[in-house]
Each structure stands twice: as C-alpha cells, then as structure tokens.
C-alpha cells in the first residue's frame, strides 16, 4: 500500500494542483530524510506534469525560462513505499508533519510529498525497466509478457497468490488487489500461477483490469497510512470498504502467509474443500 490505483490518484492530484498554478520556483528536501538525490534544477521557473505506471509515479519538470528552443525538462520518478502521499499547503508554515519533499509555487503554496514510514524514494530517472507493464494503461503488453513467459519463467510454478505480488509481471498489484482479483475468480488461489492463468484464460486478465479500474474510480483504499486527498470529506472510504469482498473480510476469508510473511485473504471455501 499504496498500490496502482492510489499511485494513479496521486498523479491526478499533482496535475490538478499544477493546473491551478502558473509556475513553480523551487524544490527542496527535509534534512531529516536520508535521500542523497541532488535536487538542483538547471532552471529557475518550471511547470509540473505527473503520470503513473504501476507502483511508480513520475514527475516531469518543464522549464519556463524564456528561450526560443524546445523547453528543457527533467524527469524524477518516485516509489511511494508503504505510506507515501501528496498534499498541498497554502504556505510553508502549514505543511503537514512528515512532509519530506516540497515543491514551492510562485504564490508561496507548497506541493508536498509526505511519508509517515519514510520508505518512499525518488531519483532523477524514468520508469524502472525491471518493473512490468501497467495492467490498465498497457493492457496488451501486460498480457503478452505474462503469456510469453508462462511456461518459460519458473516463477509461474509458484502459487498464483504469491506470484501476483511480483512486480516484474504485476506492476502495481499489492495486498488488497491480489485478494480482490483472485477472490472474484472461481479457482483455488493456491494453484500454480501457470495452472491458474491457463485455466482462467481471458477471465484472468479481464478481472484484473476490471478490479483495478473499479478501485481507482472509488478513490482508492482509505487505510491507516494512506487516504485520497481529493475525497477526505466525500465519504468515498465507505464506498470502497463496501466494494471489497475478500481483503480483511474475516467472515468470508482466512489469512494465510505467503513466502514474504504477508497475509493473503483466501476464501474459506478453498480451505474447507481440502
């Protein structure tokens, strides 16, 4: 957490802030954060554009310094860790606690990246080539990559509920999404990924995309360390909690541990069938 839906929601939020702002004038880091990334920009005034791919968020810094050439740009990409999120403050004096990266606009407002657990990271780079395709925005490439490697990569001999956390193939899928995706397919999620995907066929990819899109539309998960800035007062959290059928549903499911000691919420019918 945050997963693909939440990261995309963050990029939307940043673009909304940038759309209301004429320009930004500086970027800095909280000295308490251990990041060693040099935040120097070769221009003094810039605009921002954000996009998301799986669990990564990318910021494009676009120079507004006057010249007759194509605008100079720099790319910074973030992984949001367990609790990374974005906020906007009217001035430097109202920045929320645990804000570790700040981008100041020309009116004194501050776009901030805050992270209670401090696992979020950023660097001057584009997408991580070791992460797979985005299951929603790059659907056909996502599907092609899995099908081409289904019988080649030994990872697919492991249970599907473990493989779905592998970011090489399932970029953006985390704990709650794997529970909701696999729970909606009528197959035992302890089957090998190769067996499971082969038996599920097109349904596997359709439900994966459908569940992710639904979670995004509902405003993403509203959990202990993450919330949607745009929906703090719109009660979307209740809609999202009602949408979840399997994750942390103690009446319907039981938690089992994966190899990383994370709980996977499995429908009790699969336990009782054994």
If you average pLDDT over residues 22-39, what whole number do you get?
92
Check whether 230 has a pLDDT greater than 80. Answer: no
What's the confidence (pLDDT) of residue 163? 98
Check whether 274 has a pLDDT greater than 60. Answer: no
What's the confidence (pLDDT) of residue 68? 60
Q: Which residues contact 256 (CB under 8 A, 6 or more apart)?
A: 263, 264, 266
If you average pLDDT over residues 123-128, what whole number do you get?
97
What's the pLDDT tens digit per position in 237-261? 788 889 999 999 999 999 999 999 9
What's the confidence (pLDDT) of residue 233? 56
Q: 3 catalytic, yes or no?
A: yes
Check whether 227 has a pLDDT greater than 90. Answer: no
What's the confidence (pLDDT) of residue 222? 75
Cβ–Cβ under 8 Å, residues 160 and 200: no
The pTM of this model reads: 0.94
- What is the third-level CATH fold of 4-123? N-terminal domain of MutM-like DNA repair proteins (3.20.190)
Catalytic residue among 3, 56, 162, 194: 3
Among residues 166, 24, 206, 164, the alpha carbon closest in space to that of 104 is found at 24
What's the pLDDT tens digit per position in 137-187? 999 999 999 999 999 999 999 999 999 999 999 999 999 999 999 999 999
Report whether CATH 3.40.47.10 matches the domain 139-272.
no
Q: What is the 3-class SS of 143-204, one letter each residue?
A: HHHHHHHCCCCHHHHCEHHHHCCCCCCCCCCCHHHHHHHHHCCCCCCCCEHHHHHHHHCHHH
Helix (H) or strand (E) holding 207: helix 202-217
Q: 168 catalytic, yes or no?
A: no
What's the pLDDT tens digit per position in 56-76? 999 999 999 877 677 899 999
Percent of the chain with pLDDT over 90: 82
Q: 2 catalytic, yes or no?
A: yes
What's the pLDDT tens digit per position in 197-216? 999 999 999 999 999 999 99
Catalytic residue among 2, 135, 159, 189: 2
Angle at 82 (CA atoms; ends 142, 194), nearest 5 degrees: 30
What's the confidence (pLDDT) of residue 6? 95
What's the confidence (pLDDT) of residue 65? 83
* Fold agreement between 4-123 and 139-272: no
Catalytic residue among 6, 55, 159, 236: 55
Name the residue ranges covered by the structural domains of the chain: 4-123, 139-272
């Amino acid at each position: 957490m945050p997963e693909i839906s939440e990261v995309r929601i963050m990029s939307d939020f940043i673009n909304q802030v940038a759309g209301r702002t004429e320009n930004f004038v500086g970027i800095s880091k909280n000295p308490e954060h251990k990041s060693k990334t040099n935040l120097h920009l070769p221009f003094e005034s810039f605009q921002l554009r954000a996009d998301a791919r799986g669990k990564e968020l990318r910021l494009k810094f676009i120079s507004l310094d006057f010249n007759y050439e194509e605008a100079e740009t720099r790319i910074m990409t973030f992984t949001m860790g367990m609790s990374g999120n974005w906020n906007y403050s009217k001035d430097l004096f109202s920045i929320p606690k645990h804000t570790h990266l700040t981008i100041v606009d020309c009116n004194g407002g501050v776009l901030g990246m805050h992270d209670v657990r401090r696992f979020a990271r950023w660097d001057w780079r584009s997408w991580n080539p070791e992460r797979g395709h985005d299951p929603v925005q790059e659907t056909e490439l996502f599907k092609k990559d899995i099908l081409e490697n289904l019988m080649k990569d030994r990872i697919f001999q492991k249970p599907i509920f473990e493989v779905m956390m592998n970011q090489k193939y399932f970029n953006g899928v985390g704990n709650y999404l794997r529970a909701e995706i696999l729970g909606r397919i009528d197959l035992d999620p302890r089957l090998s990924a190769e067996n499971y995907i082969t038996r599920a066929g097109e349904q596997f990819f359709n439900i994966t995309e459908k569940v992710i899109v639904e979670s995004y539309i509902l405003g993403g998960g509203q959990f202990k360390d993450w919330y949607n800035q745009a929906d703090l007062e719109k009660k979307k959290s209740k809609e999202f909690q009602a949408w979840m059928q399997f994750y942390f549903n103690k009446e319907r499911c039981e938690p089992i541990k994966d190899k990383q000691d994370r709980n996977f919420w499995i429908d009790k019918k699969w336990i009782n069938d054994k």
